[in-house]
Structures are given as C-alpha cells and as structure tokens.
A and B are shown apart, each in its own frame.
Chain A
Amino acid sequence: MTVRRRQALAGLAFAAPFLIGFGIFIAYPVAASGFYSFTDFNLFQAPDFVGVDNYTRMAGDERFWIALTNTLLLTVTGVPLSIVIAMAGAHLLNLPVRGQPLFRALVYLPSIVPVVVGGYLWRWMLNTEYGFINHFLSLVGIDGPGWLVEPEWTKPAIVLMSLWTVGGTMIIYLAALKDVPRDLYEAAAIDGANWWTRFRHITWPTLSPVTLFQVIVNLIAYLQIFTQPYLLAQTRLNNVGAGPGQSMLTYAMYLFQNAFSFLKMGYASAMAWVLFLITLAITIVILVSSRRWVHDGSR
C-alpha cells in the first residue's frame, strides 16, 4: 500500500464520525426539508405533494407577517445595540486597571447561565410591581411600564434580556483591541489627535473586520431568536405563548408552533427555507456594503 493511499484511508477513518453525522444530521435533513416544504405533511400520513402551496400560503397568513415583523424589529434594534455595547464595554475592560481577567470573566458569566434561568430571572426583575427594573426607574422619577403585559414594551424586554449575554461579543472585541498597533496611537498622540479622532481613524478601522463578523453572527442569532421570547411569554410548558397582542411571537416561535403544535410539518419546513433565504439575502447585502466600511489591512 502506498503512503498516499494509506494517508487517504487514515483521513477517512479519522473523519468517519463527522462524515456519518454529516450524512444523517445535515445532508439528509437538508434534502428532506426541501422536499417536505413542497408537501402537506402532518406526521401521521405520508407527505402529499402540493407544489409551491406552502410558500404562497405564507403571503396570506396574517400570523406569519406578525412573526416576521416582530423578528425584524428585534433584529434592527438588538444587533446595533449589541455591537455598540460590546465595543464600548471592551474599551472599558481594556483600561489598564488591576483585576482585568476577573472583570472579563464576570461580564461573560451571564452567557453560561442556563437560558431558562436567565429567562425566569428577567421575568422576575421585569415584574411591574416587585421587580428591580421598575424600582430603579422609579428612583429617577420614571413610572416603569408593564414590561411583559403591555404589547409595546415586550420587545424592549426581550432586547434587554438578550443584551445581558453580550459578554461573548465583548470578549472578542477585547481580544481584537489588543491587536491594534500601539505605534499608531503614539503617532496620533504626537499629532495631538483627541480620543474621538483616534477612535474614528485608528480603532474603528482596525476593528472593522471583527465588527463585520459580529454583525453577521448577531444578525443570524436575532433572526432565529426563540428561547428568550418563548420563556418570557411562556404560559404552558409545551405551548408557544405569543405574549400580549402576539407582540412576542417571533419567526422561529411560529415555525416551532406550526411544526410541533399544529403538526404542519410541510408548512414549517417551507418557513425554515424562507428564513434561510432572508438570512442569506441580508448577509449578502451586508457583505457587499462592507467593501465601503471594512478595512482589510491591505489598503
């Protein structure tokens, strides 16, 4: 047996777990999901081919549009806020103070808390009467809203809870900040540049590739947001509540409901593909626009 042949066999053997896993849990499901999306399928009968019916039905499905609108609203507020807070927080953590590793760990801690714990904890803190959030608001003279009972306040509640776990993005920014060339700051300081000019012309461009990546990662996460609104709106363990006035019904929640509550597996599969296409379209727009604002180091 030649060395090359031996190496190829070894490669195959070592990669075997993933090759099998990819086949069973990725490749086949992707193909099957594509097929189901063109069928009427309720789990108890064989899938019945219905052409593009599932896709055209979405256009006239009022709850589909509510779910999509809710999700897009969460995305356009949540993503920019995550980026700004993560970047600002990373700057604070990067200040030369003692105990930095400890502070860094503490800010990341919410991200490893079971999401269920986070959900119920925020439900408690956002409680209109007994919660700390409204208590703090009252200290500065604001009469806090009924976060989880008034339809117009549930989305801020979801974003607030999600921002608590922004530590991962913050840590990535912190690591990136350490790579910003120091001599640039020194040169800028000699030229008398103030902090804003330094940020605008040194920090921001250097961080821009990381920002691009984080915008996309956060965007994908927000478009798929499920557990946080599910927990805040939960009224029964297994059933998707939608919150007051369906204000918390997100795309992924409605998809889940169609699949596992209504057993409309075909319609839910079609929704999954539409979500994938929406994600892809927005990602492409961002990637194309990034040529204008991402500094790739070679220019």
Chain B
Amino acid sequence: MALADQIVRRRRAPRWVRGWRIIPVIGLVLVFSFPFFVMLSTAFKETGDIFSAPPTLLPTTWTLDNFVAAFDQIPFWRYLANTLFVSGLSVLGTILSCPLVAYALAKIRWPGARPLLMIVLLTMMLPPQVTMIPIFLIWNGLGAVGTYLPLVVPAFLGTPFLIFMIRQFLVSVPGELIEAARIDGASEFRTYWSIVLPIARPAIVTAAVFQFVWSWTDFLNPLIYLGNPEQYTLSIGLYAFFGENDVAWGPLMAACVLFTLPALFLFLLGQRFFIGGISTGALK
C-alpha cells in the first residue's frame, strides 16, 4: 500500500491546478443560487427596472415600495400567522407521535414490530392520489372542510417517513441504558420519557424541521381544504398578486422573499442534521 500511496501522491495534480478546482464548484453553486438572486433583486427594484428588457442584475434604484405594496395588497401578516399556526401545530403533532411509534418499532421486543415496520415502508410508497379522495370525503362528512383540522390532525398520528427516520436512529443507539432502566423497574413510558427522548433528540429535531418545511411549503392540502380567504396560508394567498391581465411582480417577489426566509433560517440552523436525515432515508 505504501508504494501505491507514493505513486498516487506523485500523480496528484500540482497545487495551482488544485486551486482552480474551485471554479466548477462555484459555477455549480451560482447556477443553483441565481434564482434566489433574481427574487431578491426584483423585490428591491422599482417598476421601471422590473419591466426593462434586457433585465438588469441589480436595481438601478433600491426601493422598499414592493414590500409596502405587498402588505397593502394582501393580508400578509394574517396569512403568515395562519401558515405559522398550521406549521407549528403540525410540528407539535410530529414531535408527540413519531418518536413514540419509532420507539415501538426499534426498542420494544414485541411480535408486531416487524410487520408494522413493513407497513410503514409500504405506506411510504403509496401514491397520495389513491387516498386523496376518500380522505377528502371523510373530512367532508365530519364537516371539517374549510377548517385547519385536515391540515393538522394527520401529523398527530405519525408520518411514515419521519417515523422511519427516527427508528433508524434509535436502532443505531446501544440499548444498555434502556435495559438498565427496565431492570430497575421503570415503566415503559418512564423509560421512554427520561431516557429515549433525550437520546433521540438529534433525530427528533431533524424530523421537526422536515415537518415544519413540509407544512410551511404545502400547496395541495390548503388548496383542497381551505375555502375562506381569511384562512388562507401564504402558499395559496400569494395568488392574489395575479390580476386579470397582469402580475404585480415586484410585490409578489417581495412577499416570496418574506415567505422563504423562515424556512431558510430554520434550514441553515439545522443544516447538518437535515442533510444527514436526507441520506438516512436513501442509503441505509
């Protein structure tokens, strides 16, 4: 191996070539980031700048008018509060339900664990279109169409992908502490509450971030279930910027910036956990 190492080292590119490698990487990042730049730049442009051909990279005059107009044209804060309400409750539901189920799948020795794991995995593969209509009919029968219940309740009953993710994490944790607690006569729930939950914190945080981003960005469910404009989340509220014949691009982009920021902020905070979580589902 030492010989191989030597040969490989000798064949390595010289230092200046290695330095240039950053260029294609930066190029890749620029391509993916450019739309963000357009969003930001448009949000701060005056109308004349927005409708200039060819488009300018930066505003010639920077203005906050679009943000003012955005608050003026739609009940932005109301929609933001609605979105936050739905996302917050969904996250709460996920935190309460998913670790419980994951624990039953990973650390309790009972005959149901294996078949239930299969069911969780199969459920992840079912196209949502198949269940969409009967679920709508259930809520319709309960008189809950036009309320937030259809957007929030499912999270309290566990999301298969997040259950699976936390389960994978728990499986990799050694069971000694849990066994010790059981031998000491702690009840199953006490063991869960005081030992499993603290251990599983990284996985639970990841699941919470996933759930928040999903609820925050969800389009289809609010579209199906919310009818009263008072209740709109931002996802469906933004359409108000589209007029009969024209689109208020400036205010729309300003609202888009504000709508994106919370999810962006949360993602950057939990970036490491989050990216780990994405690979968990796919590689293990």
Please give the residue numbers on chain A whose beta carbons come within 8 Å of chain B beta carbons, in ascending order: 6-8, 10-22, 24-26, 28-30, 32-33, 36, 43, 89, 92-93, 95-98, 101, 103-110, 112-118, 120-122, 124-125, 129-132, 135, 138, 164, 167-168, 171-172, 175-176, 179, 183, 185-187, 189-190, 210, 213-214, 217, 220, 224, 226-227, 230-231, 234, 237-238, 252, 255, 259-260, 265, 268-269, 271-273, 275-276, 279
Contacts and interface: CB of A to CB of B under 8 A. Distances in A.
B57 to A, nearest CB: 9
Interface residues of B, number: 97
5 A-B pairs with least C-beta separation:
A21-B157, A11-B110, A14-B104, A29-B134, A29-B131
Chain A at the B interface: mostly helix, strand, loop or mixed?
helix
Contacts of A224: 127-129
A285 to B, nearest CB: 16
B25 A25 contact: no
A105 B32 CA distance: 11
Contact of B283 (A22, A28, A172): A172
Given A33-B130, A109-B267, A116-B217, A21 B158 contact: yes
A2 B22 CA distance: 63
A121 B39 contact: yes
B21 A96 contact: yes
B97 A109 contact: no
A95 B220 contact: no
B119 to A, nearest CB: 7
A121 B108 contact: no
Contacts of A16: 100
A4 B80 CA distance: 49
A237 to B, nearest CB: 4
A109 B101 contact: no
Contact of A255 (B28, B100, B129, B192): B129
Contacts of B223: 237-238
Which of B105, B110, B234 gathers most chain A CB within 10 Å?
B110
A200 B11 CA distance: 20
A220 B192 contact: no
Contacts of A259: 132-133, 136
B55 A130 contact: yes
30 contacts: A11-B112, A13-B104, A15-B112, A15-B116, A16-B100, A20-B157, A24-B157, A28-B134, A30-B126, A33-B131, A36-B133, A93-B28, A103-B29, A106-B32, A108-B278, A112-B264, A114-B234, A116-B234, A116-B235, A117-B256, A120-B238, A124-B249, A185-B8, A186-B4, A190-B4, A214-B282, A227-B220, A259-B136, A269-B130, A269-B134
A121 B253 contact: yes
